[in-house]
């Protein structure tokens, strides 16, 4: 019996994908804030793709054990923005959107490699391994996109929602912060609750991936290797 959420033999590649995906996510927050005039994250060395700058060991452990996790939050001072509400929304949304873009760009990259014949002489074992890598790359990045949009503190979805709430409402939510976190952990670790809530949200991964493949299909046609990979996996 494995204590990990993922098959133990796949852990090395999953850890690599997580580090890259988390790094791009947090970099997107930090870079966007910097471009909008807040250099707080820049001074702390967070405008970088170096995974060590963003790694939270506890968040990584939770992701391996429970299938969800987090990176080190990027510090943002919204008072430094010319338009605090609008720019804060852009900075917050940059993280989840970056993961969605990562997924699409990876599929595009695969199709471009296929156009230039990189996979022409690839063995069946190579294609199967590539399929599994693609599976995890897409699943993790789209999960980060969807998961972070949940409007529960401290996720990005709540930070966006917070910009539309009154000060009084925000204060009440802060007062209930510990209870909200406790309830959220119960949902995560109790399978029936998880399946009925987060499980339903994660079910959107498949149509999102299918949509990306369909976007690329008219462009690459028979060279759409992403479509072949999803057929292999029967996603």
pLDDT, one tens digit per residue, over 73-96 is 999 998 999 999 999 999 999 999
Give the N- to C-terminal CA distance of the chain in Å, as an integer. 25
CA distances from 147 to 14, 123, 141, 213 (A): 17, 36, 10, 22
Which residue positions in the chain have pLDDT lower than 50?
1
- Looking at residue 228, what is its pLDDT? 74
Residues 6+ apart with CB under 8 A from 140: 14, 17, 18, 21
Predicted pLDDT at 1:
46
- The pLDDT, as a whole number, for residue 3 is 57
Separation between Cα atoms, residue 87 and residue 198, nearest integer Å = 28
Give the model's pLDDT for residue 208: 92
Cβ(138)–Cβ(209) below 8 Å:
yes
Q: What pLDDT shows up at residue 209? A: 87
- Say how far apart CA 106 and CA 88 lie, in whole Å: 28
Active site residue 26: yes
- 8-state DSSP, 17: H
Flag whether the pTM goes above 0.95.
Answer: no
Among residues 9, 26, 163, 222, the one annotated as catalytic is 26
Residue 229 has a pLDDT of 75
Nearest to 225 by CA among 115, 111, 112: 111
Helix (H, G, I), strand (E, B) or coil at 59: helix
């Amino acid at each position: 019996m494995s204590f990990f959420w993922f098959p133990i033999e796949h852990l090395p590649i999953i850890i690599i994908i997580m580090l890259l995906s988390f790094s791009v996510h947090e970099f997107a927050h930090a870079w966007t804030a910097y471009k909008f005039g807040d250099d707080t994250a820049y001074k702390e060395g967070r405008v970088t793709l170096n995974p060590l700058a963003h790694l939270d060991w506890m968040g990584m452990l939770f992701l391996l054990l429970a299938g969800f996790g987090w990176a080190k939050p990027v510090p943002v001072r919204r008072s430094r923005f010319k338009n605090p509400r609008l720019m804060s929304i852009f900075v917050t949304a940059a993280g989840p959107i970056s993961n969605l873009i990562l997924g699409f760009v990876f599929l595009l990259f695969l199709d471009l490699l296929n156009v230039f014949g990189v996979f022409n002489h690839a063995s069946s074992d190579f294609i199967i391994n590539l399929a599994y890598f693609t599976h995890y790359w897409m699943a993790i990045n789209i999960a980060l996109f969807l998961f972070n949009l949940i409007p529960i503190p401290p996720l990005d979805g709540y930070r966006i929602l917070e910009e539309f709430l009154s000060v009084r409402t925000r204060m009440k939510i802060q007062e209930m912060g510990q209870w909200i976190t406790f309830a959220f952990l119960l949902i995560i670790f109790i399978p029936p609750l998880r399946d009925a809530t987060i499980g339903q949200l994660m079910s959107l991964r498949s149509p999102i991936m299918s949509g990306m493949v369909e976007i690329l299909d008219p462009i690459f046609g028979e060279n759409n290797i992403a479509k072949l990979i999803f057929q292999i996996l029967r996603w």
